[in-house]
Chains A and B, each alone.
Chain A
């Protein structure tokens, strides 16, 4: 199936640990994103990569480091996890410019991160 897939779906970890979330898309899109949805349900853009190049970094702490080995993958590594990092993290992809039948984003199903 064509999709944006993220792993793991759930992640429970202790404060201070380092963890990674993986994202892959097989839609042929050239741009990928990470969004964070906190307990109040606000969805906020964190990062955007176009063809493996970082183009948006929305004042995210340095503990968060996205890595894009190729344009189909955008992984999120988080160092020294804090309680406030608990949230649902969504990966998404799109065509940056107006290619395809629509210019919308396709989102993954999310990774629920709980820091204890």
Chain B
């Protein structure tokens, strides 16, 4: 079962920052927070991951609270092509634990 809670859906105006929240209050010390997204009719796509510190890459920023019980994925300037289902997943990076997907947040970027 997924260990995260996300809103079912969100809207964002094109060009604005999209802030997607995720609660993971039962996260363990060795579990990372991963974000993936699935654009319609495509396979899931890795976005970013982090353990404790905030992370940034060319796609997004990940802000993890100090207690690690929640995080926020930030798309700084959302475009129509960012419309997708966004999945927040917690897992260890070693061993045989697979990615377990929850229901995710359906982000609609509106022109």
Footprint of B on A, CB under 8 Å?
4, 33, 35, 41-45, 48, 50, 55-56, 90, 92, 96-98, 102-110
Known: A41-B85, A56-B96, A96-B96. A105 touches B101 (CB 8 A): no
Given contacts A48-B96, A96-B96, A98-B94, contact A42 B103 (CB under 8 A): yes
List the A side residues contacting B43 at CB < 8 Å. 4, 90, 92, 107-110
Interface residues of B (CB under 8 A from A): 32, 34, 36, 38, 41-46, 49, 85, 93-96, 98-101, 103
With CB as the reference atom, state the residue of chain A lying closest to B87.
A43
By a CB distance below 8 angstroms, the chain B residues around A96 are 94-96
Choose one: B41, B46, B96; the contact of A55 (CB below 8 Å). B96
B101 lies within 8 A of A42 (CB): yes
Partner of A45, one of B32, B38, B95, B99: B99
Interface pair B100/A45, CB less than 8 Å apart: yes
Chain B residues lying within 8 Å of A35, measured Cβ to Cβ, are 101
Q: A90-B43, A92-B43 are in contact. Are A104 and B34 (CB under 8 A)?
A: yes
